Amino acid sequence: MTFRAAGRLCWFAFEVAVIVANYCVTVLPVSKSGKRAARAAWLHRASRRHLRIFGYSAEVSGPLPKTGLLVSNHLSYLDILAISSTTPAVFVSKADVKRWPLFGRLATMGGTVFIERERRTHVGDVNREIESALADGVLVVVFPEGTSSDGQTILPFRSSLLEPALAGGHHIATAWLHYELTGGDAKQEVCYWGDHTFFPHLINLLGKKSVHATLRFQKFQRTTDDRKELATQLREAVLELKNKAA
């Protein structure tokens, strides 16, 4: 472990203490009806604080969504922090994250909806959670690729989590994320995919000088009520954002 990584781990521990105290003050007293919005706002503040640890900076363009469904490509565990620091939101994540030490607990506190994709019956429960969050006026972020990648391409989008936006007629927006790493290879050392193991990957990233993100947002005009066709159109829209940056 490098000196920089060790120092940043200590910084991280301090920030965890700060945000947990903030959660107790700003989220726990809130009534059930306002809990999701309070959690999204808390995660927004927490993400901004924690990204400083990575020497994070970002270039953001396009209209920021505030409500409805946001569909994005998926590269890393940093994606949640990057998007949340830009606009308060509730995220849908794979159930594995819930079992990560500490990080799973923090994700739960932020109102993350966890999905077990291998259980078909669980998708219905998750969609009801998404529908409820959308009805509360909270922005919900989904990563329809279903897994993270190195960003070379956009994987096919799964359609199962798009049903609540279709059924409720909610606004839909798209986003494209890209990372650059000072003194390293972002495809391997920021993007978290393949055989990477979480804590070694995190420690290595903490040892890097800085991370720069590009986030591009775009409104999406829905023209179909077919879920699978919508998934295809949304992927094309994210690819369009990616190609504009090329």
pLDDT (mean) for 119-140: 87
Residue 196 or residue 187, greater confidence? 187
- Structural domain span for residue 36: 3-245
Q: Does the pLDDT at position 117 exceed 80?
A: no
| Confidence (pTM) | 0.94
Q: What pLDDT score does 120 carry?
A: 66
> Can you tell me the distance from the alpha carbon of 161 to that of 146, in angstroms, rounded to the nearest whole number?
10
Instruction: Retrieve residue 156's tokens.
Output: 């096919």
- Provide the pLDDT confidence category of residue 104 given band limits of 50, 70 and 90: confident
Concatenated DSSP letters for the chain? --HHHHHHHHHHHHHHHHHHHHHHHHTTTS-GGGHHHHHHHHHHHHHHHHHGGGTEEEEEESPPP-SSEEEE----THHHHHHHHHS--EEEEEGGGGGSTTHHHHHHHTTPEEE-TT-HHHHHHHHHHHHHHHHTT--EEE-TTSS---SSS-PPPP-GGGHHHHHHT--EEEEEEEEEETTS-HHHHTS--TT--HHHHHHHHHTSS-EEEEEEEEEE------HHHHHHHHHHHHHHHHHHH-
What is the per-residue pLDDT across 44-99, written as a single tens digit (0 to 9) for each? 999 999 999 999 999 999 999 999 999 999 999 999 999 999 999 999 998 888 88
Residue with tokens 């393949």: 194
- Provide the pLDDT confidence category of residue 119 given band limits of 50, 70 and 90: low
Tell me how many domains the chain contains.
1
Q: How far apart are the first and last CA of the chain?
A: 35
Q: What pLDDT score does 67 carry?
A: 96
What is the per-residue pLDDT across 8-35, written as a single tens digit (0 to 9) for each? 999 999 999 999 999 999 999 999 989 9
Q: What pLDDT score does 135 carry?
A: 92
Q: What is the CATH number of the domain that holds 174?
A: 3.40.1130
Q: For residues 187, 191, 194 and 195, what is the CA-based torsion angle, rounded to 10 degrees?
A: 100
Q: Does the pLDDT at position 118 exceed 80?
A: no
Q: Does the pLDDT at position 203 exceed 90?
A: yes
> Can you tell me the distance from the alpha carbon of 233 to that of 239, in angstroms, rounded to the nearest whole number?
10
Distance of CA 140 to the CA centre of its chain: 9
Please provide the average confidence, as pLDDT, over all residues in the chain: 93
> Can you tell me the distance from the alpha carbon of 177 to that of 82, in angstroms, rounded to the nearest whole number?
9
> Can you tell me the distance from the alpha carbon of 210 to that of 203, in angstroms, rounded to the nearest whole number?
13
